[in-house]
Amino acid sequence: MNTTPDNLILFDGLCHLCSSSVLFIIRHDKGAVFKFVPMQSERGRQLCHAAGFDTTKLETFLVFKEGRPLARSDAALEVVRHFGGLWRGLLVFKLMPRGWRDGVYALIVKNRYRWFGRREACMVPSADIKERFLT
């Protein structure tokens, strides 16, 4: 039985790029379909482990769709699919082989702390978006 809600995003709560991406998603998610859990939280670790992802190697964010975790570029494109306007144009990248997309994704992941920085603690959501974060 699937107990993971659809459109749940697990993210690296210590990564500035990842936390900024969550805020970007919240701004563009007009239907408020996405919920968020930092991978460093107890629930995040449990969900990662159940999905077969190692929480000691945070190399992707996950988006759950129909009970399945999507990772890397597939996860990013799933998020964009829910946006309106010109953002949906990014779906053209689905035409590229997954290996190429994931190669670019891996380059960013490998360098994200160096390029964007790392937090000492997971982001604390403000009161106006707190209901979007699951504990």
DSSP string covering 17-83, please? HHHHHHHHHHHH-TT---EEEETTSHHHHHHHHHTT--TTS----EEEETTEEEEHHHHHHHHHHT-
Higher pLDDT: 135 or 9? It is 9
Asked whether the predicted pLDDT for residue 122 surpasses 90, the reply is no
CB 77 within 8 A of CB 104: no
**pLDDT (0 to 100) of residue 84:** 83
Could you tell me which of 60, 89, 68 has the C-alpha nearest to residue 8? 68
Mean residue pLDDT of the chain comes to 92
Compute the average pLDDT of residues 43-50. Answer: 92
**pLDDT (0 to 100) of residue 1:** 45
**pLDDT (0 to 100) of residue 21:** 95
Higher pLDDT: 4 or 110? It is 110
Q: Record the pTM.
A: 0.91
**pLDDT (0 to 100) of residue 2:** 56
Identify the band that residue 135 occupies on the pLDDT scale cut at 50, 70 and 90: confident
Compute the average pLDDT of residues 116-122. Answer: 89
CB 19 within 8 A of CB 117: no
Residue spans of the domains in the chain: they are 8-132
CB 18 within 8 A of CB 11: yes
Compute the average pLDDT of residues 90-112. Answer: 95
Q: Which residues pair with 65 in a beta bridge?
A: 68
CB 76 within 8 A of CB 62: no
